[in-house]
Structure 1
Amino acid sequence: MTEHSKNIPDHKPRPWVDLLVSIIIPSVILMKLSGDEYLGNTWALLVGLAFPMGWGLFELIRYRKKNFIAVLGVISVGLTGGIGLLAIDARWLAIKEAAVPLAIGIAVLISTRTRYPLVRTLLYNPNVLDTAKIQQSLKERGCEEEFDSRLLKASYFFAGTFLFSAIMNYILARWIVTSPSGTQAFNEELGRMTLVSYPMIAIPSMVMMIAIFFYLWRSIRRLTGHTLEEVLAPHLAEKEDRKS
């Protein structure tokens, strides 16, 4: 480990903070403060989108999370702001909402043809699992090829979750955001769409992700004979030991 990497703080998931900063606060600002008696259309849009944009940039800079998906998230918020501020046809918002998860899904599929499939980076990685131990057990049992086949199938499932998000994002945007961009109604509808997208898209996608991880874990257990505790990443295993 280099001195530079030692100085990077560990990234601990904070789902409630993410939910508050990226969904709830922007939605409230857009829906409640877009009137002329409050912030007005332009300032409400700028202030509302500043929260997810600022949070995304903070995560990228502080934790060096310079990955494809994190960068796309920041770009997505920037494009939303551009559509509203430049009064571009609101139909482009639906296209943008679908394009971002679709781009990630395509990247997942393309990555399966490379040495570094994204499913390994996001689900099967040393921060979660003791991949070295798993690979050693697979090699000893002669199951490496079968595991690679299951990992490829998990990649297809993974890409499918983003396809689901793309379709639902497009439908939701077309259904809710119907007013011209640059208006108070557009801001309010954008806030409503942001709020509704969490239970309608984010939660189902999260459930699908958990199901994919469970499929991957079942494959590891079947092919290596290890329990989950035996193949957790060393730092996670230590935490479990301290709890027990």
Structure 2
Amino acid sequence: MTTPDRTSIPDHRPRPWVDLLVSIIIPSVILMKFSGDQHLGSVNALLIGLAFPLGWGLFELVRYRKKNFIAVLGLISVGLTGGIGLLELDAFWLAIKEAAIPAIIGLAVLASTRTKYPLVRTLLYNPRVLDIEKIHYTLAEKGHIEEFDNRLLKASYFFAGTFLFSSIMNYVLARWIVVSPSGTQAFNEELGKMTLVSYPMIAIPSMVMMLLIFYYLWRTIRRLTGYTLDEVVAPHLAEKEKARE
């Protein structure tokens, strides 16, 4: 059996507006506006609404080979939401599910600090963003490896904290907004509202916190190596920037 050629896999380019439209806005509109019997009905609206983020997630997994832990958990989360609605389970289980997914990721971040491959390296300090080899060589040359590793460990704790924040807020929002029995039109509408509200109340603050963590790492790299950001940006990004100029 031949191994797929990595060069044949297209580069994944972040498309935040497409992600927002497909994963948040379209499902929310369908659940909030088309769950009535005069439209799609509660079951069909739930299936169609969740099909958008589920289909988009599967598309990215297949096309870009994004077979990572967080992406898979995201798909599982969407599937569990559909299962709770279709099986007409108590809305309490939706709140538990909403809190459990980011909690699991946060625990995985903490657990990974005990391994050779902490998740913060994969998600924030990685060769797709920074010239890791150049940074590591200079840190070793100046004898700052241990200090940098300690800073990276702190960044991992901060990173896990962002998921703790998401877990708590997800639970609070779910218990506050989704109060109707699952499998009903009201449940769908409340689920759509929760999905819409979660973006400004949870997703945006979490992204801001992650940017602050990246800035913390960058300040550490700057202080220990003396490099500017332009000097340690990943080579492929630097080449793109030069091409634009």
TM-score by shorter chain over 0.5: yes
1:90 and 1:173 map into 2 onto residues whose CA distance is 8
Name the amino acid aligned to 1:164.
F
Query: Does the C-alpha gap of structure 1 residues 28 and 3 become closer, same or farther in structure 2, counting only changes over 3 Å?
Result: closer
> How many Å apart are 1:243 and its aligned residue?
2.9
How far does the alpha carbon of each residue in 1:31-83 deviate from its partner, in whole angstroms, 9 at most, with x for none?
00000000000000000000000000111111000000000000000000000
> How many Å apart are 1:3 and its aligned residue?
6.3
Look up the SS of the partner of 2:39 in the other structure: coil
How far does the alpha carbon of each residue in 1:97-156 deviate from its partner, in whole angstroms, 9 at most, with x for none?
000000000000000000000000000000110000000000000000000000000000
Q: Please provide the CA RMSD for this pair.
A: 0.8
1:200 and 1:222 map into 2 onto residues whose CA distance is 34
2:174 match: 173
2:227 match: 226
Matches within 5 A, 1:20-59: 20-59=21-60
2:224 and 2:242 map into 1 onto residues whose CA distance is 25
| TM, length-normalised to structure 2 | 0.98
1:130 match: 131
1:150 and 1:59 map into 2 onto residues whose CA distance is 33
| TM, length-normalised to structure 1 | 0.98
1:141 and 1:96 map into 2 onto residues whose CA distance is 47
Q: Which runs of 5+ in 2 are unaligned?
A: none
2:188 match: 187
Residue 148 (structure 2) pairs with residue 152 (structure 1): no
1:88 match: 89
Identity %: 79
> How many Å apart are 1:241 and its aligned residue?
1.8
1:187 and 1:107 map into 2 onto residues whose CA distance is 31
Matches within 5 A, 1:5-24: 5-24=6-25
2:4 and 2:29 map into 1 onto residues whose CA distance is 42
2:200 match: 199
1:41 and 1:148 map into 2 onto residues whose CA distance is 51
1:65 match: 66
Matches within 5 A, 1:201-220: 201-220=202-221
Q: Which runs of 5+ in 1 are unaligned?
A: none
Residue 108 (structure 2) pairs with residue 110 (structure 1): no
2:147 and 2:196 map into 1 onto residues whose CA distance is 42
Name the amino acid aligned to 2:62.
I
